[in-house]
Structure 1
Amino acid sequence: MRDPGLAALLSFLIPGMGQLYNGKWGRAIFWFIFTPGLWLGTGGLLGWVAHIIAAITAHNYARRHPYRSVGG
């Protein structure tokens, strides 16, 4: 089973890790690229926004899809 709290924590610490935990590779790659771009592009002002949104989306996905499929 997926733990929504763990997914959120992972993505809050490193945006994209919660998505990897959920098995969503494409979304993980997006957050791995987008977050540093936002940190650098805004001089650090909006980087935390990406952390929060990534954590919320990872949490919501894990809550809606609590069971892993076979092989993933």
Structure 2
Amino acid sequence: MQPLKNPGLAAVLSALWCGLGQIYNGQIGKGIIFIIIQAINGLLMFLLIGFITAPLMWIWGMIDAYRVAERMNRQHQSR
């Protein structure tokens, strides 16, 4: 049986490093993809578009980590 995930911790981990909250939730592949996308966004800052895409991805990562942790907990409790 899977332990419950803390949605707040998942969001904070993603705030510290985009993708880390997904990895905490057990979505290793998704977390690695988020990390790679943020690295690309870092490079895109030289073209200025990264100043738009990096914060958007960062916010999306936090929201996604929080919602997935909540969904996992609901599924766990309904069993």
Deviation at 1:28, TM superposition (A): 0.6
Provide runs of 4+ in structure 1 moved above 3 Å.
none
The structure 2 residue matched to 1:20, chosen from 11, 19, 23, is: 23
Higher Rg of the two aligned structures: 2
TM-score w.r.t. the length of structure 1 is 0.84
Deviation at 1:17, TM superposition (A): 0.4
Deviation at 1:24, TM superposition (A): 0.3
Aligned to 1:3: 6
The secondary structure found in structure 2 opposite 1:55 is helix
Higher percent of residues as helix: 2
Aligned to 1:45: 51
Aligned residue pair count: 67
Structure 1: segments with no counterpart, 5+ residues: 68-72
TM-score w.r.t. the length of structure 2 is 0.77
Structure 2: segments with no counterpart, 5+ residues: none
Deviation at 1:45, TM superposition (A): 0.5
Percent sequence identity over aligned pairs: 36
